[in-house]
Amino acid sequence: MAYCINCGGEIAPDARFCKHCGKALEHGGQPNENTGNTYISQNEEQEQNVTPSLEVEQHNDPQVDQATTGSNGNQNRKKMNKKSKIILFSTAALIILLIGVYAVGNTMTSPKHVLDEFQSAIEEEDAGKLASLLTTDDDDLEITEESVKGMIALYNAKQNEFKVVLNHLEYQADGEVDQFGTYALDFQKDGKKFLLFDDYEITVNPVYFEVATNYKDTEIIVGDEVVATADKDNAQLEIGPFLPGEHTIRAALDTGFFNLEREETAVGDPNFPAYVDLYLDGDMVTFDLGMKGYDELSSIKLFVNGKDTGVDLSKQDQVGPLLIDGSMNVSFEAELPWGTVRTNDQPLTERYVEFNLGNSDEFKQQIQDILVTYNEEFGEVYSTANPDALTTAIPDLKDRIVEEAAYNLDNDIMYDGAFHGMDFYQDSFTLEKSYEGFWELTVDTITYYEEAIYEKGTDAELEQVEDETRYVLAYDQQQETWAVRGIDYAGSMEEDRMERVTVEEPVFHTSDKGKEKE
C-alpha cells in the first residue's frame, strides 16, 4: 500500500494523481515506512475529507499549494524543535550530573584519596578521622577515637616507621603483593560502594602483649580497663587484641592496706607478642619475734603507714609484698602486762626486721620519769642509808645501796651530791622478756650530777660528773610498776638521738647534817 507524500492519503499503486488532494504523483506513492516525513494531523485530514473539491482547487493553484505546504511545514518544525530542545537539555544535564557524581565518587573512593586521608589523620592527630578509616577482621578489637591515639603517638614519634607503613600501603594499593612478613596495616579492596565504585579500606592487624608479674591477684590495666588478673605468683599473661601503636600497661596490687603499682609503655608488633616486665618492687618481709621473747605474746598487730593491716604477727611473721626502700613505715601494737603499747613508726629498709616494742614515745616517757625519780632518791638514800627513801629500785638493788651507805656512815665517809639531769639515747629503749620470765628494759643515758665523797672533818670539793650509764629495769607484776634492777656502762650513743631532761631546782644531799651547801 502507498500514500500521498503531500497529504498522506491512501492511493493506488499506479495512480498518477492523489484522489484526496489532487497532487500529481510523478514518482508514485511512498511506502508506509516513510510516512513520518509526510504526516498530516487528524484535524487536517478531517478538513480535507470535508472539502475535497476545495483542496483540489487549491492544489491546482501553485500559489495556494505553496502557501499551504509552507505553513504546515513551518508549524511542524516549530513543534518538533521545542520538544527536542527540552529533551535534549534535560538529557544533557542529567548526563553531566551523572558524570560529575561518578567523577567525585570515583575520586573519593580511589586508593590515593584513602591513603592521603590516612596520612593527614596521622599528621594532624585527628583521632576521629583515623578511626573512621580503619577496619578489622577481629570482632574483639575495638576501633575508637581513644584506641587509635596510641597509633598516632607512635607514628608521629617515629617517622621512619610511619614511612615504612605508608610505602607498604602504597605498594598494596598498586596491586603488588608484599612478601616481607605481617605489617601493622594492610590496604585491601572490599567489593563495591554504591554499586559503582571500588571500595578500598585499611585493615588493622591486631597486636598482643605478654605480661609478666610476680604476685597473685595483680591486676593488669590498659587505659581504665582491667584486662587480666594474675592467678598465681610469677605469672605470665597474654593480653589483647590491641591496635598497633604505643600502649601504657599498668600492674596494680591492692593488698588491703596499701597499693603497689608499676607502669610501662610498650609498642605492639603483629608478628609476635611484645614482652612487658611488670614485676612489682615489693618484698616478702620477715618480722623476728623470737629474739626478744615476743613469740610468747598472744597478739601483735602490724600497721603499715599508720593503717592496721589485719595481720597478727604472732600467727604470721612473714608479710608481703612490702616496699623496703624506706618509703614505707611500719609500727606494732601489743597487749602487755602494764597496758597497750603502740610503737613509733619506723622506715622499712630490710627484708628481715627485728622490731622493738620499747620504741614507743608514751612508754619511753614513763621510763624516763622513773629514772629521774630514781636519781633524785639515790642522793637521799646514799647520804642517809634510809631504805624508805628509795622507791624506784627492786629490793635486791635497794638493799645493796642501803648497805653501802650504812657502811660509809659507820666509817665516817661522807657523801655530798646533787642530781642535775639526764640525756636519754632514744634508740636504746629495748624491751624484751628475760630468761627468768619477766619483762626487762635497758636504756643508755648520760647522767649529770655533782658529788663529793670524803672523810668526815675534811674539806670536800664537789665534782661535776657526766656518767655514761646503762640502766636495766624490770617490771614487777605484783607491784605493777617498773623499777631499776641494775646499772652498767652505756654503749655508743649518737648525739643527735639524745633527749635531755633537766632538773630545774636540784636538791643537795649530804651525810654531814651540820653542813650546808655553799
Write the pLDDT tens digit of every residue in 297-310.
999 999 999 999 99
pLDDT digits 0-9 by tens, 317-337: 999 888 898 989 999 999 999
pLDDT at 15: 75
Q: Which amino acid is at 124?
A: E
In a domain, 265, yes or no: yes
Is pTM beyond 0.85? Reply is no
Q: Which is nearest to 464 in space by CA: 507, 425, 418? A: 418
Strands 134-135 and 197-204: parallel
Distance CA 167, CA 109 (A): 19
H helices of 385-438, in order, are 395-410
Q: Are residues 413 and 496 in the same domain?
A: yes
In a domain, 405, yes or no: yes
pLDDT digits 0-9 by tens, 148-169: 999 999 999 999 999 999 999 9
Q: Are residues 473 and 384 in the same domain?
A: yes
Strands 318-322 and 2-3: unpaired
In a domain, 52, yes or no: yes
In a domain, 341, yes or no: yes
Residue ranges making up the domain that contains 308: 283-353
Q: By the 8 A CB rule, do 138 and 207 touch? A: no
Q: Are residues 373 and 430 in the same domain?
A: yes
At CA 205, angle to CA 202 and CA 208, rounded to 5? 150
Task: Provide DSSP, 125-192.
Answer: T-HHHHHHHEE-S-TT----TTTTHHHHHHHHH-HHHHHHHHHHHHHHHTT----S---SEEEEEEEE
pLDDT digits 0-9 by tens, 446-491: 999 999 999 998 988 999 999 999 999 999 999 999 999 999 999 9
What are the cell numbers at 237?
Answer: 599473661
pLDDT at 63: 45
Domain end point (choices 179, 204, 229): 204
Residue that is written with C-alpha cell 583515623 in the block: 130
* 178 pLDDT above the threshold of 90: no
In a domain, 421, yes or no: yes
Look at 42-46, 135-139, 509-513 and tell me which has the smallest mean pLDDT.
42-46
Better pLDDT: 254 or 28: 254
In a domain, 294, yes or no: yes
Averaged over 369-379, what is the pLDDT? Answer: 97
Query: What is the CATH number for 476?
Result: 3.10.450.240
Torsion of CA 239, 243, 245, 247, to 10 degrees: -40
In a domain, 135, yes or no: yes
